[in-house]
């Protein structure tokens, strides 16, 4: 007591990395203007109920890396408090006692409390008393919480906006576990052991916009599971065990704009899986066919699957598919595709086909995709381009055909590429090429990558001179 007398105007106090074992009840009473208090990395095992009671302007309290097992805080604050409670043990009770005072203007204050709890033994022992309902963000990490029960302490935090409950080894969520959280906007349940998700567990989350269920053991998405999530915009189901998505299981998500299903066991991409979705990531699954695509998709990632052909692939025509609707970005890399022809995506601008089994680019292969600006065909088995292989692609700017089996560059295959700027064909078997003829079809070409081919020295010297005359820079050749 009295250690801080005369320091009434002090705003920041750092007592971290000492050997403090405790703080007496009135040791901090005179520090009424204190804003930030660091007590981390000490040997504090117990905090009395009223040790912070007079710190009415406290904004940040760091108690991480101590020996606290039972923490009861009375924090009287008209602004906000950020609590760092890393490695806190069994019981945490946060009391936020906002006293009513004359002239107290609620509207002018930020009633925001953020509690971040690491290594809490059980979420059931998290008790938030009545006035702690002002908490807007709660994070609980790296603990063991087998089940999230109905009507738990969390459900009393009615102003909660962001809730993170990950690395908890949670296996079950009881209906009603999120009861009362009508204002919750973001929920992160990733990195747990969730398997079956009972219908009704998310019914109270009517304001939810972002839901992360990644890295669990979910095998099925039941119809009606997301029935009340009308505002949900982002759904992450990546790294689970889902083998099939029922057509109706996601139909309630009318505001969904991003769906991540990466690294599951999905084999079939259902037609009209999500009509309103903007982006879908289905990489690292076992999909073998790609048929009609929703016209409202903007980005579709299907890399690392087992798709072999695209003969039946097309953009589904609907009354909404006119104007600005349509797929812009399509990633089909790391599949088993043998032919690059027969596309039907008129709005497509980015196409990734690297690491497939394509052997030849035939005439008019991409003529149905007039808006393409970038094509990546690298790391295939392409031996040749037919004449007019890229005909109709007047907007194409970047073409990558590196790491193939090309022995020549047929200048006729570049016909119509009026806006091509970069051409990469390194790591092939090309002996020589006529850059003057190529530039006739590609007047805006300014850089190429041509290293690791089979150029004959005398041809190479002539080629380099021609490149300089055509103002084309070989970026990988000195």
Token pair in block for residue 151: 């009507």
Contacts (Cβ under 8 Å, ≥6 apart) of 69: 45, 46, 88, 89, 90, 91
CATH code for position 40: 3.80.10.10
49, 80, 111 - which closes a domain: 80
CA–CA dist 201, 212 (Å, integer)? 14
Listed as own residue / partner, the contacts of 452-455 with beta carbons closer than 8 Å and 24 or more positions apart are: 452/426, 452/427, 452/428, 453/425, 453/426, 453/427, 453/428, 453/429, 454/407, 454/428, 454/429, 454/430, 455/430, 455/431
CA–CA dist 155, 52 (Å, integer)? 26
Query: Is 201 within the bounds of a domain?
Result: no
Query: Is 133 within the bounds of a domain?
Result: no
Query: Is 212 within the bounds of a domain?
Result: no
User: What is the pLDDT, as a whole number, of residue 4?
Assistant: 87
User: What is the pLDDT, as a whole number, of residue 311?
Assistant: 64
User: What is the pLDDT, as a whole number, of residue 92?
Assistant: 42
Query: Is 366 within the bounds of a domain?
Result: yes
- Summarize pLDDT for 256-276 with one digit per residue, the tens: 999 999 999 999 877 656 566
User: What is the pLDDT, as a whole number, of residue 315?
Assistant: 63
* Average pLDDT score over the chain: 83
User: What is the pLDDT, as a whole number, of residue 364?
Assistant: 92
- Summarize pLDDT for 186-236 with one digit per residue, the tens: 999 999 999 999 999 999 999 999 999 999 999 999 999 999 999 999 999
Query: Is 62 within the bounds of a domain?
Result: yes
CA–CA dist 222, 220 (Å, integer)? 6
Task: With a cut of 60, say whether residue 94 has pLDDT above it.
Answer: no
47, 80, 113 - which closes a domain: 80
Query: Is 428 within the bounds of a domain?
Result: yes
User: What is the pLDDT, as a whole number, of residue 73?
Assistant: 52
Q: Which domain holds residue 38?
A: 1-80
- Kind and range of the H or E run holding 12: strand 12-14
Count of structural domains within the chain? 2
Mean pLDDT for the stretch of residues 11-31: 89
80, 110, 126 - which closes a domain: 80
Query: Is 304 within the bounds of a domain?
Result: no
pTM for the whole structure: 0.79
Q: Between 87 and 149, where is the model more confident?
A: 149
Query: Is 127 within the bounds of a domain?
Result: no
Q: Between 268 and 323, where is the model more confident?
A: 268
Q: Which residues pair with 403 in a beta bridge?
A: none
- Summarize pLDDT for 433-465 with one digit per residue, the tens: 999 999 999 999 999 999 999 988 877 888 889
């Amino acid at each position: 007591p009295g250690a801080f007398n005369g320091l009434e105007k002090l705003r920041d106090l750092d007592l971290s990395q000492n050997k403090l074992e405790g703080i007496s009840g009135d040791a901090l009473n005179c520090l009424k203007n204190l804003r930030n208090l660091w007590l981390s990395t000490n040997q504090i095992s117990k905090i009395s109920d009223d040790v912070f009671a007079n710190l009415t302007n406290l904004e940040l309290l760091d108690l991480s890396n101590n020996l606290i097992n039972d923490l009861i805080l009375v924090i009287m604050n008209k602004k906000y408090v950020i609590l760092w409670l890393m490695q806190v043990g069994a019981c945490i009770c946060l009391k936020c006692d906002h006293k009513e005072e004359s002239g107290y203007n609620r509207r002018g204050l930020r009633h925001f409390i953020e509690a971040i709890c690491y290594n809490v033994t059980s979420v059931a022992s998290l008790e938030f008393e009545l006035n702690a309902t002002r908490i807007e963000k709660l994070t609980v990490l790296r603990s063991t919480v087998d089940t999230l029960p109905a009507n738990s302490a969390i459900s009393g935090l009615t102003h909660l906006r962001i809730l993170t409950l990950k690395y908890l080894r949670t296996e079950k969520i009881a209906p009603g576990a999120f009861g009362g959280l009508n204002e919750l906007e973001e929920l992160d349940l990733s990195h747990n052991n969730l398997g079956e998700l009972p219908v009704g567990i998310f019914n109270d989350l009517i304001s939810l916009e972002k839901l992360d269920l990644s890295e669990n053991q979910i095998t099925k998405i039941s119809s009606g599971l997301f029935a009340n999530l009308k505002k949900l915009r982002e759904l992450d189901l990546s790294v689970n065990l889902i083998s099939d998505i029922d057509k109706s299981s996601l139909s309630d998500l009318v505001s969904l704009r991003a769906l991540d299903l990466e690294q599951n066991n999905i084999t079939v991409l259902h037609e009209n899986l999500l009509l309103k979705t903007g982006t879908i990531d289905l990489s690292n699954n076992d999909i073998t066919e790609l048929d009609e695509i929703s016209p409202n998709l903007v980005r579709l990632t299907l890399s690392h699957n087992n798709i072999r052909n695209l003969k039946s692939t097309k953009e589904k025509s609907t009354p909404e598919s006119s104007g600005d609707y349509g797929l812009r970005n399509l990633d089909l890399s790391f599949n088993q595709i043998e032919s690059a022809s027969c596309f039907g995506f008129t709005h497509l601008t980015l196409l990734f086909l690297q690491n497939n089994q394509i052997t030849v680019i035939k005439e008019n292969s991409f003529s149905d995709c007039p808006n393409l600006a970038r094509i990546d065909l690298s790391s295939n088995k392409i031996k040749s381009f037919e004449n007019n292989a890229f005909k109709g692609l007047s907007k194409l700017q970047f073409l990558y055909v590196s790491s193939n089996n090309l022995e020549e560059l047929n200048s006729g295959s570049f016909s119509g590429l009026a806006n091509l700027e970069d051409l990469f064909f390194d790591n092939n078997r090309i002996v020589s090429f006529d850059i003057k003829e190529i530039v006739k079809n590609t007047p805006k070409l300014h850089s190429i990558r041509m290293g690791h081919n089979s150029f004959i020295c005398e041809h190479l010297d002539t080629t380099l001179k021609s490149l300089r005359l055509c103002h084309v820079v070989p970026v990988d050749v000195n």
